[in-house]
Amino acid sequence: MLPLTENIGHRALIYIEEYALSHHLYAGDAIIAATAVENNMPLVSGNAKHFQSIKELTFHKFSP
């Protein structure tokens, strides 16, 4: 678990503004992506639709 910081919140807001309409990115996913980026961590998810367009994010699609 990682803390929600001011930088994460700010980055999440930017992601919502940029990707909410075009990629249906909502607050929860924006916070998850922003947390990964701010902590220099890759994000592994099965939800490629919401995350793959974020340029700063290192995204790996998970498929069981």
Give per-residue pLDDT as tens, 41-54: 999 999 898 898 99
The domains of the chain are located at: 6-61
Distance CA 56, CA 23 (A): 16
**For the whole model, what pTM was predicted?**
0.91
Distance CA 57, CA 13 (A): 15
Helix boundaries (H) for 1-64: 6-23, 27-38, 48-51
Give per-residue pLDDT as tens, 10-49: 999 999 999 999 888 999 999 999 999 999 999 999 989 8
Q: What is the pLDDT of residue 50?
A: 86
